[in-house]
């Protein structure tokens, strides 16, 4: 019997294979034309300016929900969405939430309106789930906005003051995900 496999020399030192890093995506989302809704993109820009751990990518997706869904379909082990979101707390309050994948189950029905440029986490996660792109773990880091419903540039004082803490919180979340997410 012939084989195309190379012969193994029993005296040769075996080289240990490197365990691949978990791939984690940090996604800043939001519309910079809606004042505090620019929170996610600003946090993404600050993180991108620093040094990232191996296996971690960061992108400012702005209002590109479809772009985010396609990027997640590349096979990330975890997704951290950074966005402004109303929770009824004082402006600048930070939250970490872990959406339950089952909340987003169910197909998108024919004729149902699902705007791929609507960048709220619920819409994005529903679209990701519908196209079978759900990563192993999803975490949303959110900040209570002061002003989000009217056109305007720049973050409110409260949200701007929370940016450094948000960057630290996102990076802490990423480290926890690196320890628990497996390739």
Domains within the chain, CATH numbers bracketed: 24-104+113-180 (3.40.50.1450)
Q: Which range (37-41, 44-48, 164-168) has the least confidence?
A: 37-41
Instruction: Answer yes or no: is pLDDT of 178 > 60.
Output: yes
**Residue 28: what pLDDT?**
94
Identify whether the C-beta of residue 45 lies closer than 8 Å to the C-beta of residue 60.
yes
Task: Write the pLDDT tens digit of every residue in 62-79.
Answer: 877 778 888 888 889 999
Burial (CB count <10 Å: 0-12, 13-18, 19+), residue 13: exposed
CA-based nearest residue to 128, from 27, 22, 23, 55: 27
Instruction: Answer yes or no: is pLDDT of 47 > 80.
Output: yes
Which residues does residue 59 pair with via DSSP β-bridges, in sequence order?
27
Confidence band for 20, pLDDT divided at 50, 70 and 90: low
Q: Please give the Cα distance from 57 to 44 (Å, whole number).
A: 10
- Tell me what the pLDDT averaged over the chain comes to: 83
Q: How far is CA 2 from CA 7, 9, 59, in A?
A: 12, 18, 50
Which residues does residue 140 pair with via DSSP β-bridges, in sequence order?
81, 97
Answer with the residue of higher pLDDT: 177 or 180. Answer: 177
Arithmetic mean of pLDDT, 82-93? 94
Q: Which range (2-6, 29-33, 56-60, 91-95) has the least confidence?
A: 2-6
Task: Write the pLDDT tens digit of every residue in 112-140.
Answer: 666 655 667 777 787 788 777 788 899 99
């Amino acid at each position: 019997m012939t084989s195309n496999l190379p012969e193994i020399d029993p005296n040769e030192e075996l080289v240990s294979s490197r365990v691949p890093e978990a791939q984690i995506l940090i996604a800043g989302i939001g519309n910079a034309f809606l004042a505090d809704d620019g929170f996610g993109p600003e946090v993404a820009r600050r993180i991108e300016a620093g040094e990232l751990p191996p296996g971690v990518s960061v992108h400012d997706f702005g209002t590109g929900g479809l772009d985010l869904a396609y990027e997640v379909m590349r096979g990330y082990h975890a997704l951290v969405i950074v966005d402004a979101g109303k929770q009824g707390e004082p402006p600048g309050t930070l939250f970490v939430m872990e959406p339950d994948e089952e909340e987003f189950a169910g197909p998108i029905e024919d004729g149902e309106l699902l705007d791929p440029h609507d960048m709220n986490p619920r819409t994005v996660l529903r679209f990701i789930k519908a196209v079978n792109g759900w990563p192993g773990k999803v975490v949303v880091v959110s900040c209570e906005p002061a002003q989000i419903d009217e056109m305007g540039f720049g973050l409110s004082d409260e949200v701007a003051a929370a940016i450094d803490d948000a960057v630290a919180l996102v990076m802490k979340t990423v480290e926890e995900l690196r320890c628990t997410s497996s390739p």
